[in-house]
Amino acid sequence: MPLLAVNQLKYRYPDGREALKGVSFQINAGEKVGLLGLNGAGKSTLLLSIAGVLKAEGEITLAGVENLKARSKLRKQRIGLVFQDPNDQLFMTTVYEDVAFGPENLGLSRPEVEKRVQVALAAVGAEGFEDRLTHHLSFGEKKRVALATVLAMQPDLLLLDEPSSNLDPKRRREFIEIINQAKQAMLIASHDLELIKATCSRVIILEAGKVVVDEPVAILENEALLRRHELY
């Protein structure tokens, strides 16, 4: 049984624009899947729908959960969304408070929260950042800490929106390593083909709100296909 199964997902924005026109796919536990598509193809909408921020029509099932309610605690805990702009993700004043935000809302005890914060910060190479002010972090540090805020919830599925955007080559490489070391299943929306190749085993291409390709990542070597989907 797959970890996540999305069936005929449809979403229409309040202004009438149809962003998702029946999207279906599955993700297995621990599997990392790349999500490609042009600007406006519906990548972010899809991530927001899976996370439950947007209420899309269709079926989303998560292994072991019956009746997945849009904003249930379980869904929030098991599916973690990392926003593209880390400034949206980091809203507390210090790094500790921000990473502890999720675990505290889960109602964990203080020692458990502290442990989670430490483990999450270590996972993104940000040990000892606890007392730093979030608005004083560099962009690369913000990106990593933003990931830690979600890792601290110990989700089974991570949804990453453009994880490598605006990162310099070194930070980008570090981020790829962090992704590869994480055990969680991931759906990674990106324009960064190299990042997808380096981290994912499968790739989904969205075009105008529909899945047009769902294949092993090796397909990205096919230049003709990339050209056909305007990804090259």
Partner 1 sequence: MSEKGVQPESKGLAIFLYTLAAVLDPSLPLWRFAIYLVFVTGFCVLFGVPLGRVARRSLFLLPFLGLIIIFGVLPSGDYARGMFLAAKGWLAALGLAALGLSTEFAQLLKGLHRLGLPRVLTMLLSFMYRYLDLLISEAKRMEIARNQRYFGGNYLSQFRILGNIIGNLFLRTYERGERVYQAMVLRGYTGQMQVEKVSYHLLDYLVVSGALLVLLATGVDFLCPFWL
Which residue number, 105 or 180, has a Cβ lying nearer to partner 1? 105
Contacting partner 1 (CB under 8 A), which of 76, 78, 116, 144? 76
Q: At a CB cut-off of 8 Å and minimum separation 6, what does 171 contact? A: 140, 143
CA angle 91, 124, 49 (to 5 degrees): 55
CB of 229 to partner 1, least distance (A): 28
Alpha helices, DSSP H only, in 41-138?
Answer: 43-51, 73-78, 86-89, 95-105, 110-123
Whole-angstrom distance, CA of residue 81 vs CA of residue 125: 19
Contacting partner 1 (CB under 8 A), which of 71, 138, 180, 194? 71
Q: Which range in 11-19, 24-32, 97-105, 184-192 contacts partner 1 by CB under 8 A?
A: 97-105
Whole-angstrom distance, CA of residue 126 vs CA of residue 148: 9
Which residue number, 96 or 175, has a Cβ lying nearer to partner 1? 96
Contacting partner 1 (CB under 8 A), which of 34, 37, 42, 80? 80
Contact 6, 44 (CB under 8 A): no
Query: Is 13 among the residues that bind partner 1 (CB under 8 A)?
Result: no
Phi (first) and psi of residue 85, to 5 degrees: -95, 110
H or E element in which residue 36 lies? strand 32-36
Query: Is 93 among the residues that bind partner 1 (CB under 8 A)?
Result: yes
Residue with tokens 């929106």: 161
Which residue number, 135 or 183, has a Cβ lying nearer to partner 1? 135
Q: Which range in 10-18, 60-68, 146-154, 190-198 contacts partner 1 by CB under 8 A?
A: 146-154
Phi (first) and psi of residue 189, to 5 degrees: -85, 125
Which residue number, 5 or 106, has a Cβ lying nearer to partner 1? 106
Query: Is 138 among the residues that bind partner 1 (CB under 8 A)?
Result: no
The footprint of partner 1 on residues 103-132 (CB under 8 A) is 104-106, 110
Query: Is 83 among the residues that bind partner 1 (CB under 8 A)?
Result: yes
Q: Tell me the CA distances in angstroms from 154 to 68, 90, 163, 170, 193, one per residue in order.
A: 18, 18, 18, 27, 27
Total residues binding partner 1 (CB under 8 A): 33
Contacting partner 1 (CB under 8 A), which of 34, 42, 102, 209? 102
Q: Which residues bind partner 1 (CB under 8 A)?
A: 48, 51-53, 71, 73, 76-77, 80-81, 83, 85, 87-94, 97, 101-102, 104-106, 110, 133-135, 149-150, 153
